[in-house]
Amino acid sequence: MHSIVLFMKAAGVGLAVAAPVGPMALLCMRRSLALGWRRGLATGFGIATGDGIYALVAAAGLTGLSHFLLAHARPLHFAAALALFYFGFITFRARPAAVSPEPGRGTYFGSVLLTLTNPPTIITFAAFFSVLAPRNGFYLSAAWLTVAGVFVGSLLWWCGLVAVIVSFRAAIGARARRLIDRIAGLFFVVFGLVELRRAIAR
């Protein structure tokens, strides 16, 4: 019973971390709308994997790796800024396309890497896990169970988001979709500027 409760709590953490609207949510929504549910799910699966990796670092107490990632947060924020500027450019200029038949490995791995450009996420998970941790600490099975819960919770959020976006896809015409792409492109640039500011301010 305790394991089930721990898993459910960790899933709630995964949902809480995934839910806020940010560049990754925008990327998942835009790909679902423009390219179809396969690309949307591949993106969401990649984001959930990135969250799971950071949850593993926090739950396992890998302080050396945590310090390394946090110490190199500046170049990672720069990388995120460049990626977001790129997404902004190609999204702004995109034309409505047919549904892509295959998501491609690049969609998944690119989403994982972009999620991992935000090392402070480890601090967020560490704060949550300090509340979730059993009295005797995170033993191995509890750590893996917590990481699995975070991954499942995050993935459930992205699956639900993709389902909602795709359900509206058929009702949105090419002109409206092009307008959405231009707005999304501008938002990507804004998120890129935020990442650039975070990199410079460190």
| Confidence at residue 135, expressed as pLDDT on a 0 to 100 scale | 56
pLDDT band at 104 (very low <50, low <70, confident <90, very high): low
Total domains in the fold of the chain: 1
The answer to whether 78 and 199 are in contact (CB under 8 A) is: yes
Q: Provide the residue range defining the domain that includes 44.
A: 2-201
Whether residue 143 has pLDDT greater than 80? no
Is 151's pLDDT higher than 90?
yes
pLDDT for 70 beyond 90: no
Q: What's residue 164's pLDDT?
A: 92
**Percent of the chain whose pLDDT exceeds 90:** 20
Provide the pLDDT confidence category of residue 78 given band limits of 50, 70 and 90.
confident
pLDDT of residue 105: 73
Q: How many helices (H) and strands (E) does the chain have?
A: 9, 0
pLDDT at 1: 57
For range 81-109, the mean pLDDT? 76
Q: Is the model's pLDDT at 59 over the cut of 90? A: no
Residue bearing the bigger pLDDT, 66 or 179: 179
> Per-residue pLDDT averaged across 18-46, rounded?
88
Contact (Cβ atoms closer than 8 angstroms) between residue 57 and residue 65: yes
Mean pLDDT (whole number) for 151-166: 93
| 48's tokens | 């959930």
Flag whether pLDDT at 45 surpasses 90: yes
Distance of CA 96 to the CA centre of its chain: 24
